[in-house]
Structure 1
Amino acid sequence: MKTFFKLFSLTIALFSLPSFASITVTDSLGQHQLDSHPKRIVALNWDLAEQLLELDVTPVGVPNIKDYTTWVVKPAIPEGVEDLGTRAEPNMQKLAELKPDLILAASPQKDLIPRLQTIAPVLYYQTYNADQNSAKAAIENFRNIAAVVGKTDLAEQKLNAMNQRFADLKSQLETAFNGEMPSVAAMRFGNQTSIYLYASNSTTDYVIHQLGLTTALPQPAKEWGIVQKRITDLQHIKDGYVIYFGPFSDAQKAKLNKSMLWKAMPFVRNGHVNEAESVWNYGGAMSIQYIAESITESLLEIKP
């Protein structure tokens, strides 16, 4: 009988153990221990909020939600998520009142980590710097965050689906361009005289190559994967295509289309320029797919 009770007690202990066992998680600083998979998570950068949402986890707080809806667009932030002010200076009082189990931070908040750690455990994920490929970093961080929230299987399903989507989009472009894939300069407007081109380590340049395209004006790696140039530098694109990302207002378009300098560009005269749907080029893993879809849709509208 004593043996039975010992075995019974051991069985109960073993089945009870997982609820008390910690989990090992990884961020850009190394490995850490958490008591359990967190439920109430604050994401202090848009790419981190995006990563959570794509894993079907709604953060309790995100900074600057209004601008997120303009620039990031997808995935949408559900109602009820607390706006925490700016990414660089989040509202610490609001953040503390949310009583988070975990705070996710990125490079704009790195100096705040000691203060944030007085509120809740902090995991730091750096996606954007000049020493790494931003797309590969975003995918690695997606996998690591999925492990934090217990969504590893979902993450792999989404990454596999994204790779299949790349193949589908590439096939569409090959058909549209009769197998002669164009060179493309992907950019944003700074103002009427300056532009931002995407660098070799950017998620956007990664997408261009995943689609079987080439980069019309290659740029060296930069921290955020963008290089500011004069708009006159675009004159070197003779036969290539130029895709510029929104948001870009009707008033801005009207002013641009009146510019003699712009109208003289070879790609403008050839009809090789188009706007692309607003996407966030500094986002998480799934934003890479949205960039690919945006570029493909824009190119298909101006195919030969």
Structure 2
Amino acid sequence: MLATSAVQAAITVSDSRGEHQLTATPQRVVVLNWDLAEQVLELDVQPIGVPNIPGYQEWVVQPAMPDGVADIGTRTEPNLEKIAELKPDLILAASPQKDLIPRLEALAPVLYYETYNQSLNSAEAAIDNFRKLAIVFDKAALAEQKLSAMSERFSALKAQLHQAYNGQPPRVVAMRFANQTSVYLYSQNSTTNYALTQLGLTPAMPLPATEWGIVQKRLMDLQKAGDSYVLYFKPFHEEKQLQRSVIWNAMPFVRAGHVNSVASVWNYGGAMSIRYIAEAMADSLLAIAPNPPAVKQDGQD
């Protein structure tokens, strides 16, 4: 049964499987995937349990994970005993935990939200799930406020980039390093690609949709980017070694000074991650623009 602080009427909610009835607004939620953890935190809901919190703090970063949240193992193998001890009144699961749903339902009601799938536009799915979760937690007004602010932020950043690049926004390759010899490029259904288009930018090496919105390529394949702008997301722990790579330094975009790192943001996250991705990429591009702004953008409204 769902815990309640007051008597409430049952509410109808929806997830990727359909509609469900909850007896009340959840008060104790365990979240099994980072994108969903981000979504509920953005709704001003503090989960009682989240997997691999140190990893979240390194890779996701925003929004910050509050103190006092229990670490419940890994995303693929959450600790079911620990979850039971937390006495949740709701568990949120995503595709990495789909096979666990029958066992999880023995502990508490489960809502399942799918965001990353080859047939989905991940950004649109993340926004849709954000709205669905807002209904679950009675935060619909807050969700719409944040989505509206995100749209306004996109417009402001687009205008800044247009000016900084003298009316000719650059073609961009957004990527992560797998290691010093291979990279992950973002495909057309990724949240990163969506953020690029919201900034008025064009992917320099467009790729078809994939499950997670990424395609692994050899480092040498980046030659096809020519002198387009290349942005690589942190963390990348071999960055110093890369700067000494003959192959890397021979790339046309490196020779042209058209490359920069991007602050750590989560490219497989929820709705607000799209804003953070856009802000981080815009900051990176503005720093190497032909006509950079006088004051560095701080990512604030």
Q: TM-score, normalization: structure 1?
A: 0.93
Post-superposition Cα deviations, 1:66-112, rounded to whole Å, max 9, x if no partner, equal 00000000001111000000000100111001100100000000000
What is aligned with 2:249?
263
Report the alpha carbon displacement of residue 21 of structure 1 after superposing the two structures with TM: 2.3
The answer to whether the aligner puts 1:84 opposite 2:72 as a matched pair is yes
Partners of 1:216 and 1:20 in 2: CA distance? 52
The farther-off stretch of 252-261 and 77-86 is 252-261
Matches within 5 A, 1:144-163: 144-163=132-151
Q: Secondary structure at the match of 1:139?
A: helix
May I ask how many residue pairs the two structures share in their alignment? 285
What is aligned with 2:299?
none
The answer to whether the aligner puts 1:193 opposite 2:176 as a matched pair is no
What is aligned with 1:237?
225
The answer to whether the aligner puts 1:55 opposite 2:46 as a matched pair is no
Partners of 1:100 and 1:254 in 2: CA distance? 44
What is aligned with 2:160?
172
What is aligned with 2:275?
289
The answer to whether the aligner puts 1:128 opposite 2:151 as a matched pair is no
Post-superposition Cα deviations, 1:210-263, rounded to whole Å, max 9, x if no partner, equal 0000001001100000000001110011231000000123xx222111111111
Matches within 5 A, 1:215-226: 215-226=203-214
Match of 1:214 among 198, 202, 205: 202
Give the partner amino acid of 2:283: E
Report the alpha carbon displacement of residue 192 of structure 1 after superposing the two structures with TM: 1.1
The farther-off stretch of 116-125 and 240-249 is 240-249
Partners of 2:273 and 2:184 in 1: CA distance? 19
Post-superposition Cα deviations, 1:161-209, rounded to whole Å, max 9, x if no partner, equal 0000000110110010011010000000011110000010000000110
What is aligned with 1:15?
none
Q: Structure 2: which 5+ residue stretches go unaligned? A: 1-5, 291-301
Moved over 2 A (4+): 18-21
Structure of larger gyration radius: 1
Partners of 1:193 and 1:20 in 2: CA distance? 57
Post-superposition Cα deviations, 1:110-155, rounded to whole Å, max 9, x if no partner, equal 0000000000000000000000100000000000000000000000
The answer to whether the aligner puts 1:109 opposite 2:97 as a matched pair is yes
What is aligned with 1:280?
266
Q: Which has the higher helix share?
A: 1
Report the alpha carbon displacement of residue 20 of structure 1 after superposing the two structures with TM: 4.8
The answer to whether the aligner puts 1:31 opposite 2:8 as a matched pair is no
What is aligned with 1:99?
87
Q: TM-score, normalization: structure 2?
A: 0.94
Post-superposition Cα deviations, 1:33-81, rounded to whole Å, max 9, x if no partner, equal 0001100000000000100000000000000000000000000111100
Partners of 1:106 and 1:148 in 2: CA distance? 16
Partners of 1:276 and 1:268 in 2: CA distance? 15
Partners of 2:248 and 2:92 in 1: CA distance? 42
What is aligned with 1:11?
none
What is aligned with 1:4?
none
Q: Secondary structure at the match of 2:24?
A: coil
Give the partner amino acid of 1:295: M
Give the partner amino acid of 1:34: L
Partners of 1:253 and 1:90 in 2: CA distance? 32
Q: Secondary structure at the match of 2:243?
A: helix
Partners of 1:258 and 1:156 in 2: CA distance? 47
What is aligned with 2:30?
42
**Identity of counterpart residues, as a percentage?**
65
Partners of 1:28 and 1:241 in 2: CA distance? 37
Give the partner amino acid of 1:46: W
